[in-house]
Structures are given as structure tokens and as C-alpha cells.
């Protein structure tokens, strides 16, 4: 079963609880539009290489499509569809006036030079020039795409529209000096931490509880940092080459500088090396998958020892694993809520660009906290009232909002 089929299973489960029309569910069973573009990029060798790119525009009932662009060798259409579907749900959970979309380019960016990466990013913007725009579809960074890449794409899109600067607002997650918002870099990790703290307060989680974070990119690094500075013991972190573990706690700043220096976490002084699979099964209180999909599955869910799973990655848990975790009374904070801080601040960036404003960081982070904690409280309350898992509760809240907008 592929990740898109998993996403549709989640929809079916929520449809059984949500009091919404079957017509809405049928509409949400497929994207409104799928775009595939194969475009050429000049490589440093002088050769031209063709790259395949997908953009899935899933649903725009609540506003322009919104979702990141992923550069990854394993991008496939079903994955992009799943991610675009989750964006539709996520923007509704966050209650921002945007729909759901997602994009991906099949490429290993680690094998490109800086100039090839820039040419690829600019070529993407030219190829998709008629399909994106501030009122049509608003992309952002995702796995292996960065603020710099958004800046190149924005510049190229403006040029492709005869210098019309309003097109700059098409991309969010831009660098600060190029129309980006204060707080966007840490927004996803921080938003997830706010949601986790709100849950910790509800269930009276002991201070100093242990945390393991899989993935040490934008999302995982910031979550780990905020958790450590709030007094939680982050005992394990990992990247694509593997993880590091110390049961008495890791120094996140040292882990970060080790990774910057050596390119990987493994070898961090004072830690023991573990695999990504081992990290998931550690005896910790809180597990935070922050890398890719399909990490907690029917094969390992039964061995998870954490009491709380905070899904900072998109789609890290399969539906079968969801059921196993629920039976084990493990509380799962679903991706569509836990990682919605990124898109919330992206929405603030889009607003600022369109109004010609620049909000101070305090305002951005205060509004982020208010937004995401409110979403958590509504979903948590519904979960308690109906005795349903928090993913299903989040979907119910979202489906009702999408139905209202559709009508």
C-alpha cells in the first residue's frame, strides 16, 4: 500500500465519525489538478539533463493551494498527492484561508553543485509560471529545499511575469531580506513544541521527561532545541546517516556544530551510535519523528515504548500503526496539527507581503502560539468527548470547515 492510500484510509476513518456529506468525502478522494512538467537544466559539464517535477493542487475550497516543494530522489506522484491532501486538512486545522497543494522534483540535491541547484530552481519557476501565483498556488520549502531556493524561484517568477513584483508573494519561507517573515525558520519546530507543551500540561507530564528526535533538519533541530531549553532531556537525535544516543541527555548545540563540521551526527563525542530504526524503539517518554513518511508501521509499532508521539514529519505513521498505538494508549499528536506551525507562519508571510508590512518576531510568535494552541484545545476536547484518536479528531474539525467553505 502506498502513502496516498494510507492518507485516503485516514479520510475514510474520519468520514465515519464526522457529520459531513458523502459528496464532500468523494470530492476529497482525488486532487482537483495534477501537473507534471519535465524541464531541462544545464549541468556544469555542459550537458542538459531533464528533471521530472509534480505539482498536485488538491483542493482550494478555503483559498489558494498551499504547500511545499520537495527535492528528493524518491519523490513519486502518490507521495506528492498524499502530502497535498494532508496540506488541505492541515490548513483547515490551522484555520487559515488556504487550500492544499504540494510539489516535488525527482533529484538528489546532494549531487548538484550550487550553480546547478540555482539553475534547477529557476527552471522550476519558469516551467510552473502559469500554475502558481499569490492567488493561485503558494509554494514553500520542504525536504531539501531552502529559503535561498524560494528566493531564486521568486525572482525568476517575477522576471517571467515582466517584472511584476506582486509575484514575489507566491513563495513563502523566503529569506528575511527578501520578503520573508520573522520566525518562519523556527516556526514548524516551535509550533510543534507549543502543541506538545499544551498536551504535557493536560496530562501533567513530568518535567525532565526524555525525548528522542528522528531527523535533524529544520524541523527536528528546532524541536530538539526548544525541548532541551525547556528542561526536557533530549537523549537521541538522528539524520539520514544514523543517530546518536546518550541516556543522560545530549547537548543539542554541540550536536549541531558536530553535524556542521563533519556532515553527520554519528561520531558525536560522548554519544553512542544507533540506527534510525533503533531510535524509534528507545525507552523514552516522547518520540518525535521529524524526517520522512512510513517510519512507524505495523512492523515496529508494537515495540514503541514512548508515551507520546509527536508527528513533526508528514505521514510518519501508517494507519495500521495508528491502531496499534491507540490500543497501547500512546497519545499521538498528528502531523496535520503538530507541524502546522510552518504553514501558519507562511500564511503570516503571505499576508505581510500583500499588505506591505513587516511584523516584529514577537508578534509572529505570539500569534503562532495563540493559533496552534487553540487548534490543539479544540481537537483534544473533541478527542476526549468522542473517545477518538487525535488524528481522527483533527480530520473531523478540518472536514467541517472544508464543507462550509465548499458550500
Active site (catalytic) residues: 102
Kind of pairing, strands 65-72 and 137-141? parallel
| Dihedral sign, Cα of residue 133, residue 138, residue 143, residue 145 | positive
Report, in Å, the least distance between residue 219 CB and ligand NAD: 4
Closest by alpha carbon to 235, among 201, 278, 298, 297?
278
Report, in Å, the least distance between residue 29 CB and ligand NAD: 22
Strand partners, 65: 137
Name residues whose C-beta falls within 8 Å of residue 260's C-beta, 6 or more positions apart in sequence.
Answer: none
Q: How many CB atoms lie within 10 A of CB 198?
A: 18
> Of 100 and 141, which CB lies nearer to ligand NAD in the complex structure?
141
Site string for ligand NAD, 26-65 (x = CB under 6 A): ----------------------------------------
Question: Does residue 350 belong to the site contacting ligand NAD (CB under 6 A)?
Answer: no
Tell which one of 89, 211, 268, 313 touches ligand NAD (CB under 6 A): 313
Site string for ligand NAD, 100-139 (x = CB under 6 A): ----------------------------------------
> Of 291 and 390, which CB lies nearer to ligand NAD in the complex structure?
291
Spatial separation of the C-alpha atoms in residues 281 and 270, rounded to whole Å: 21
User: Total residues contacting ligand NAD (rule CB under 6 A)?
Assistant: 24
Report, in Å, the least distance between residue 44 CB and ligand NAD: 23
Strand partners, 237: 213, 244
> Of 20 and 55, which CB lies nearer to ligand NAD in the complex structure?
55
Q: Length of the chain in residues, anyone?
A: 407
Report, in Å, the least distance between residue 314 CB and ligand NAD: 4
> Of 91 and 393, which CB lies nearer to ligand NAD in the complex structure?
91
Burial of 22 (0-12, 13-18, 19+ CB in 10 A): exposed
| Residues 141-200 contacting ligand NAD, CB under 6 A | 141-144, 188
Q: How many CA atoms, within 13 angstroms, populate the side-chain half-sphere of residue 104?
A: 19
- Decide: 34 and 54 in contact? Cβ < 8 Å: yes
Q: How many CA atoms, within 13 angstroms, populate the side-chain half-sphere of residue 361?
A: 8
| Residues 256-295 contacting ligand NAD, CB under 6 A | 276, 290-292
Report, in Å, the least distance between residue 45 CB and ligand NAD: 26
Binding site for ligand NAD (CB under 6 A): 141-144, 188, 214-220, 238-240, 276, 290-292, 312-314, 339, 342
Amino acid at each position: 500500500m502506498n502513502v496516498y492510500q494510507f492518507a485516503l484510509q485516514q479520510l475514510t476513518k474520519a468520514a465515519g465519525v464526522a457529520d459531513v456529506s458523502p459528496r464532500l468525502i468523494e470530492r476529497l478522494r482525488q486532487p482537483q489538478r495534477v501537473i507534471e512538467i519535465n524541464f531541462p537544466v544545464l549541468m556544469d559539464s555542459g550537458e542538459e539533463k531533464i528533471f521530472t517535477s509534480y505539482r498536485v493542487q488538491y483542493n482550494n475550497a478555503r483559498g489558494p493551494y498551499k504547500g511545499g516543494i520537495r527535492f528528493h530522489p524518491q519523490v513519486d506522484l502518490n507521495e506528492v498527492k498524499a502530502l497535498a491532501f494532508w496540506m488541505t486538512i492541515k490548513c483547515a486545522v490551522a484555520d487559515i484561508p488556504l487550500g492544499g497543494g504540494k510539489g516535488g522534483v525527482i533529484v538528489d540535491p546532494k549531487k548538484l553543485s550550487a550553480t546547478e541547484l540555482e539553475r534547477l530552481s529557476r527552471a522550476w519557476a519558469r516551467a510552473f509560471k502559469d500554475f502558481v501565483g499569490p492567488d493561485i498556488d503558494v509554494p514553500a520549502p520542504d525536504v531539501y529545499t531552502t529559503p535561498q531556493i524560494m528566493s531564486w524561484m521568486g525572482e525568476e517568477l517575477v522576471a517571467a511575469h515582466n517584472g511584476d513584483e506582486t509575484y514575489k508573494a507566491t513563495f513563502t519561507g523566503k529569506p528575511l531580506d527578501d520578503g520573508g517573515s520573522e520566525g518562519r525558520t523556527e516556526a514548524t519546530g516551535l509550533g510543534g513544541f507549543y502543541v506538545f507543551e499544551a498536551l504535557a500540561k493536560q496530562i501533567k507530564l513530568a518535567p525532565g521527561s526524555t525525548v528522542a528526535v528522528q531527523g535533524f533538519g529544520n524541523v527536528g533541530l528546532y524541536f530538539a532545541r526548544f525541548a532541551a531549553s525547556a528542561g526536557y532531556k533530549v537523549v537521541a537525535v538522528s539524520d539520514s546517516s544514523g543517530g546518536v544516543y546518550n541516556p543522560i541527555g545530549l547537548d543539542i548545540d554541540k550536536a549541531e556544530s558536530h553535524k556542521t563540521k563533519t556532515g553527520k551526527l554519528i561520531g558525536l563525542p560522548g554519544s553512542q551510535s544507533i540506527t534510525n530504526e533503533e531510535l524509534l524503539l528507545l525507552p523514552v517518554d516522547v518520540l518525535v519523528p521529524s524526517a520522512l513518511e512510513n517510519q512507524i508501521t505495523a512492523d515496529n509499532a508494537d515495540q514503541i515504548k514512548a508515551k507520546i508521539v509527536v508527528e513533526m514529519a508528514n505521514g510518519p505513521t501508517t494507519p495500521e500503526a495508528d491502531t496499534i498505538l491507540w490500543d497501547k494508549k500512546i497519545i499521538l499528536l498528528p502531523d496535520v496539527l503538530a507541524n502546522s506551525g510552518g504553514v501558519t507562519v507562511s500564511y503570516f508571510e503571505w499576508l505581510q507581503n500583500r499588505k506591505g508590512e513587516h511584523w516584529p518576531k514577537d508578534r509572529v510568535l505570539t500569534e503562532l502560539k495563540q493559533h496552534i494552541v487553540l487548534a490543539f484545545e479544540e481537537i483534544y476536547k473533541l478527542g476526549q468527548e468522542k473517545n477518538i484518536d487525535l488524528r481522527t479528531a483533527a480530520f473531523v474539525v478540518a472536514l467541517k470547515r472544508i464543507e462550509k467553505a465548499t458550500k
